Structure formats: structure tokens, C-alpha cells
Structure 1
Amino acid sequence: MSPELRYDDRVAVVTGGGRGLGRAYALLLASRGAKVVVNDVGGSLTGVGTDGGPADAVTADINAAGGEAISSTESVVTAAGGRAIVEAALEHFGRLDVLVHNAGNVRRSPLRDMSYDDFEAVLDVHLRGAFHVLRPAFPVMCDAGYGRVVLTSSIGGLYGNHGVANYAAAKAGVIGLVNVAALEGAEHGVTCNAIIPAAVTRMAEGLDTSAYPPMDPDLVAPAVGWLSHETCSATGELFIAIAGRIARAFVGETVGLHRPSWTVDEVAEASGVIRDATHPVIFPVLPSGHDDHIGYGFAMATKATAAP
């Protein structure tokens, strides 16, 4: 049997660590030796209010079990809050090795009725919040030559869902942030991946979960644990964890069709071929998905031009 993967001498920050998934992540990392900054503003499901109780409770549990943890109630909504969370790790533990951004809020509404305030409030926590903690953490990790970053996306960001345009937009944006952090961190030993979790927590409030299989946060935490470990070389990838299933999601394209010129009518006529996903083309983020994608299209154009 392989030795237990541990995080001895590593320091981790977990945002939204006071409840649900974040709590499970913090407890797992701490149980295997990590020193943890448990960050949670302690607000309501919609992101209103503050309460230090949730973060303090998780911190107390970790310390009582013989681990090391401190609480942080700074908000990821502001750049200053993000810096303070990272600085707490550096000031108390002297380093930062793992960043898990899990903080979240929910404000449901049909798109036609969604207020601008509700749209912005959700982006503030999920997407801007991810940047607010990643931005100060990233240079620290790069300068140290090591880091593991896990940002939280969602199946809502991949596939959409009713009544959560704000949440879906934020979670889709997180994927772009993951890709860039993975690219720019690669030469410095810093990985960045997305966890796409599903668990029955207070975020599921108002949903009928009576027919769901077991979906405890503990079924998701091991995937985050692996992405946070030094032996994990995956980067720029999306990992799904739902009801005991762990999988990788990725962006794919159809082979496509090249012509030297197009009319609207020709696009319509060729749409079946254009949309045919029988043989998908995949461009992994690393080492050069962006350039590979462009090169693939250019190659089709060059081949067509060179044809007799």
C-alpha cells in the first residue's frame, strides 16, 4: 500500500472554511499535517452579515485534534480582505503552500428579473473573490517555487442552470482564471486547477434533495486534497466531484470545416458537419492550448490554400 499523502510543514488557506465543503477541506488538510487558515466571514447564504463562530468552531476542532489552525473573518469581496487573508498565513505560519477558494453565496432569480445588485454580489464572492485571494498569493508561491491553487467552479458554470445567471457567469469566469494561473505558474512550480463540486450543504437550501444519493462534503474533500498535494502534477484542469463520482471535464471542439470564404447560406448548409462532435479535438491548457488552437485553424487554412 502506498504511504498516506500528507501535508506536513505545508500551510493552507481555505476560504469559506467554516461550513459545508470548506469545512471538510480544512479538516482533511489539517488531519494530514497542514497548518490551516480557516477563512469564513460567517455571513448568510446570500452573503449578508458577519459571524466569527463558524471559522472559530472549525479552528477549535482542528486544534483540539492536535493540529494547527487560525481563524480569519476577512471578506474575499475586497482586495484588502484578500490580502489580509494571505497575510494571516504569512504572519502566523511564515509561508503559504496551498490556496483553496471555496467561499460562496447564492442569490437566485430568473434572468429576466435578476437585479444588478444580485448579479454583482455573487460575482464579488465567487469570481472577484477568487482573484482577490489569488492575486496576493500567486507571487508568494511563484517566488517560493511551489504552490497548489484550487479554485471552485460549478456545473452551473459548465452547463448553466435556471435562476442562477449570476452564479453561472461567475463560475464560468473562474475557469478562465484557472487557465491563466496554470499557464503563468507552470515555470514556477505552481499548479492551479478547478474543483467542480456538488454536495448537500446550506447552498442547496430551497432545493428538493429528497431523491439525491449520499452527497456529503466528505465525498468531495479527497479530490481537493489530491489537487492540493505536492505529488499532484495536474494543472489547468477541471475536476468534477459529485455523489462519489470523480471525473475530469474539458473543453472540446468539433473538427470543423474550412472554406476560403463563406456566405450565411453556406454556413447553414454545412452546419451539420460544423457541429458534428463524433471526433472531438481537445487542446489542453498546458503546455500551449491557446496557441495550439490557433495553429490548428491556421493549418486548415494553409492546407486549403496549398491544395491544387
Structure 2
Amino acid sequence: MERRKFIQHAGLAGILATGIAPAVRAESPAIRWRLASSFPKTLDTIYGAAETFSAKVKEMSGGKFEISVHPGGELMPPFGVVDGVQQGTVECAHTAPYYFFGKDETFAMDCAIPFGLNSRQMTAWCYDGNGFSLFREFYKNYNIVNFPMGNTGAQMGGWYRNDIKTLEDIKGLKMRIGGFGGKVLERIGGVPQNIPGGEIYQALEKGTIDATEWVGPYDDQKLGFQKVVKNYMYPAWWEGGPQLVLYVNSKAFDGLSAENKAIIQAASSYAHVEMQAKYDARNP
């Protein structure tokens, strides 16, 4: 027997005799999460932010952390995502916080309020002011860990079946309007309706509502509002820079390693910047 082979066999025999197996590095188990969006899949901007986030999480984790993205209505109603994350039905969600101001008006502050902050100001407040930490405290009441994840920038004032020339034209107007702006509309005689984005076209077509606002030309054309009503107005004083947010179930987040927590934060920040850039480019 050659000397080298003898040493190899002798080494193996020694290991077996002592009962000690060679050390094997254990691979971290793969993580699979689900994200419930409040938005329709047709919108590559606002819905697309969640897809960007998911792709970045997978990329930065080397494929060990995957998050499937589901459009509004697939896993739960578009306005049911806060309850879904709070109860742990899904690990995370992407939504506009002002949809939930009926639970607590504080939700609207994390998105947009009439005559509030613009997109840059909102980002500055959250990332370099104390907005982020204030909302971390607030969302503890809902078992949620929050991350800013997108902004549309200033929005259009909406589509109207009839031209609006005076305040008298607002009286009795049934308008789909998100968030706290509906409270202002109500005070001047309008009738606010909180309707998910994927259901607005049907409501306009059937005459259930007389007007609607969404975001701006790029998204609005995709949703087809111009096929039903012709009066388009600007600006939306109630949405100077509405911020979108990633909600993560606190128990699910606490169960992550420090590395994966950092990946969530980095991926959501990337998606935040990209979404703002998309809207600026598509609605110049």
C-alpha cells in the first residue's frame, strides 16, 4: 500500500474509532414569507414596489429568504391587511396607512394629510427626523414593525363626471377619496367613499360614485378612468406626498436573525427610493 493511501485510511480509522464525525457547517433553513398588498397587480408603480422589495430580499439573502407578493383581494381584502399582519395571518403587507384612519387617525400621519408634507419632506421626517421612531411606538399597539416603502409624490385632484366650478358643485358629490381628505370633503358637502384601487373603475362605470382620485396620469390611465369620465383636475391638496409603508408582524420580525432584519430594512429603503423615482419619471 502506498504511504499516502495508508495515512488516509489510518486517519479515517482513527476518526471512526473515537466516534467523532467531521464537523459539517449547518445551512440556515430557508425562510418563506407572504406579503399582502392593498393594490392591484396592474400597477407596476405602487404594486411594483412590493415586487422590488421581494426581489431585493431574495438577492441579498442568496435565495435563502423569499417573500411572495399577493395583490389586493388574493389573500385578504385590500383594506384588511392591517388586521392580517396584526393577527399573523401574513408576515407582512404593503399599503397606504391612511386607509386605516378609521381605526385611529394617527394612521393618516404616516401617509398624507390635507396640506401636509411633500414627498421629500416626508422622507426627511421619517429618516432624519423623529417620524420613524414615533411610528415605531404607535405600531406596537398593532403588533407591527413599520418601514417606509414608497411615495407617489404630489397627486392629481381626480376625475369628475361633471365640471367643478364652485363649492356648490361639491354638495352631494359622491367621491372616492382616500384617507383624511374625505373628512374635509364631508365638511364642504361631499360624500366620501373609501374604495380600493382595483374596484374604482367599476364604481365609476356603474354610477355608484360621481368622482374619484387615485394618483396621477400614469396609474389613472392604466385603471381606465378616462374611458368613463372626462374632467381631470389638479392638484390634490389632500395628498402632497403620500407615503406607502411596509408592515411586518412583530413576532415574525423578532424571529429573524440580525442579518435578515438588516436585509428587510435595506430592501424596503431601496424600494422606497425606486418607487419615488418611478412616479417622478412617469408623471413628469
Give the TM-score normalised by the residue count of structure 2.
Answer: 0.32
Q: Which has the higher contact order (CA 8 A, sep 6+)?
A: 2
Larger C-alpha radius of gyration, 1 or 2?
2
